[in-house]
Amino acid sequence: MEKLLFLGDEALAQGAIDAGMSGIYAYPGTPSTEILEHVQKSKVAQERNIHREWSANEKTAAESSLGMSYAGKRTMVCMKHVGLNVAADCFMNSAITGANGGAIVAVADDPSMHSSQNEQDSRIFAKFAMVPTFEPSNQQECYDMVFHAFEMSEKHQIPIMMRLTTRLSHSRSGVVTKSILAENELKLPKDSRQFVLLPAIARRRYKMLLDNQVKFEQESEMSPFNKYIDGKDKSKGIIACGIAYNYLMENYQDKECPYPILKISQYPLPRKQVEKITSECDEILILEEGAPMIEEMLKGYLNNSLNIKGRLDGTLPRDGELNPNLVKQAITGQKTEMNLIPEEVKGRPPQFCKGCGHIDVYTSLNEVMAEYGDGHVLADIGCYTLAALPPFEAINSCVDMGASITMAKGAADAGLFPSIAVIGDSTFTHSGMTGLSDAVIEKTNMVVIISDNSTTGMTGGQNSHALDRLVGICEGLGVEKDHITRINPLPKNREAMAELMRKEIAYNGVSVIIPTRECVQTLKRKLTKK
């Protein structure tokens, strides 16, 4: 037993290592990235040779993880919330195949969209898939829950979701660790058809999943992580989920909370405890980080039974993350008095690093696009998305990983000329390749710029699967050799780059331009290491 300082992400990773995990799979994404990174830094992981390489995307990661579970070993796949959309096909179906070795799907949500396109709540996905979910409220629970989750996964042969949110993923606190468990032996599923989802088998397994819901509910009712804390004043009962429980308790540091509290950290909801609090209390306040999921469940469509307060009736804001002040206001009606931010304070948006190659790419691109007017550049997600802001204001879209190429294709199909896609190297191997194949098949008139900084920059510089492979991949997908061009995006090459763009715009078909120069951050790190 040792007490260590861990981010929520790191506590989760350490818990998994100590609980005998044999492999972790992930694609980086804030705020989940540090989970796999922690395993990469771990000595034990090295000694045990725990699988800990990055995957091409969340789908390949989830499937590899399921494969490891199939082979009987404990495994975890990690992603940010929108990554679950990419992995959804595997995730939904893995609820039906079930698990063999303990399988955890760790998803870090980002309410308030600190670094994301949306704030979707992964608990809803888990409910959709009918998969049990753990939602830790602190770093210690992140660690401890992994042990329970693996056990439960093996006991009921079901993958388990572990749902984190930004403020837990990226907050550090002391964690007491346990002694490390042995890894599982390789062991194939008892039923050789468990993972064969032919309709006849899938129907049977789906019924099993439905039947198992009762057991999952019982697990939640017995869970050490769900807590009923009685209170004398039954005029109000409070259901607090995950990290929202901390915001509640922050308001009762020095005094007891007079109201009954039901802390939820394991789903499906513990029915008995929910029945108890709703029958005993006149009014129920629901504190949940993310969507009003429980609130909607308890309210029902017609809203004709219970007196429920939360995000839907305006007691709490409908969107954004919670905090201790919002919770206080929801309970007492008191607003917090606070200083204002002086007018002098100006916004300081993130920017391209000095010397970044993306700057040169956009300088050339803006020069060329000035000849055609606005609205021709469909871009993607990464550092290069910063070109949406001044001074460049060069791009017209950023939707989901890979959508640059496919949206540029659709726009070209609609008649937009020129139609330009801008995508990063890691995003390209994440989900740009299939879209490029679509364009090649149809000989779509478009230019794809893969702005290659040879790393996954936005999330801190993880290895990029595209490293030194882009030309080969594009050739393999069928782009004509004469229309795949690499160029070094240096200030001195800006004119040449603009010329190249003009030339490829003039070509009626698919062209790929690959400006390649290493990210200044990863380069700096390499140089200081030497």
Partner 1 sequence: MKRDIILCGVGGQGILSIATVIGYAAVESDLYLKQAEVHGMSQRGGDVQSHFRISDKEIFSDLIPFGGADMIISVEPMESLRYLPYLSQNGWVITNDKPFNNIVNYPELEEIHAQIKKIDNHILINADDIAKEIGSPRSMNMVMIGAAAKHLGIEFSSLIDGIKFIFGKKGEEMVNLNIKALEAGKAFAEKFSK
Task: State the Cα–Cα distance between residues 465 and 462, nearest whole angstrom.
Answer: 9
Residues 455, 459: Cα–Cα separation, whole Å:
10
Please state, in angstroms and as integers, the Cα–Cα distance from residue 270 to each residue in 215, 328, 406, following that order: 11, 25, 44
Binding of partner 1 by 118 (CB under 8 A)? no
Residues in binding contact with partner 1, number by CB under 8 A: 48
Q: State the minimum distance, in angstroms, from the CB of residue 7 to ligand TPP.
A: 18
Q: Give which of ligand TPP, partner 1, none residue 210 binds (C-beta under 5 to 8 Å, depending on kind).
A: none
Across 291-419, where does the E strand assignment appear? 308-309, 377-378
Interaction mask 3-42, partner 1, x per CB under 8 A: --x-x----------------------xx-xx--------
Cα(first)–Cα(last) distance of the chain, in Å?
Answer: 36
Nearer to partner 1, 33 or 431 (CB): 33
CA–centroid distance for 146 within its chain? 18
Beta strands 237-241 and 284-287: pairing type?
Answer: parallel
Question: Judged by CB under 8 A, does residue 173 bind partner 1?
Answer: yes
Distance separating alpha carbons of residues 486 and 497, to the nearest angstrom: 10
Query: Residue 460 Cβ, how far from partner 1 at the closest point, in Å?
Result: 7
How far apart are alpha carbons 296 and 369 in whole angstroms?
A: 48
Task: Tell me the residue nearest to ligand TPP as measured from the CB.
Answer: 424
d(CA 183, CA 19): 8
Residue 187 CB neighbour total at 10 angstroms: 12
Residue 337 partner contact from partner 1, ligand TPP, none using kind-dependent CB cut-offs of 5 to 8 Å: partner 1
* Spatial contact of 338 and 313, defined as CB atoms under 8 Å apart: no
Of 94 and 278, CB closest to ligand TPP = 94
Least Å from the CB of residue 106 to ligand TPP: 14
* x/- letters, 214..253, toward partner 1 (CB under 8 A): -----------------------------x-xxx-xx--x
Interface positions with ligand TPP (CB under 6 A): 27-29, 58, 80, 82-83, 86, 381-384, 401, 424-427, 453, 455-459, 464
3-state secondary structure of 261: strand
Tell me the sheet residues that pair with 108: 80, 164
Q: Residue 333 region, left (φ>0) first, then alpha (ψ -120 to 50), else beta?
A: left
What residue 418 binds from partner 1, ligand TPP, none (CB within 5 to 8 A, per partner kind)?
Answer: none
Contact pattern from residue 358 through residue 397 relative to partner 1, giving x for each residue in contact according to CB under 8 A and a dash for the rest: -------------------------x--x-----------
* Pair of tokens at residue 270: 């513990």
- Quick check: 348 binds partner 1 (CB under 8 A)? yes
- Shortest Å distance, C-beta 327 to partner 1: 9
Strand-pair partners of 162:
106, 134
Positions in the binding site for partner 1 (CB under 8 A): 5, 7, 30-31, 33-34, 114-115, 167-168, 170-174, 243, 245-247, 249-250, 253, 323-325, 328, 336-342, 344-353, 383, 386, 458-460
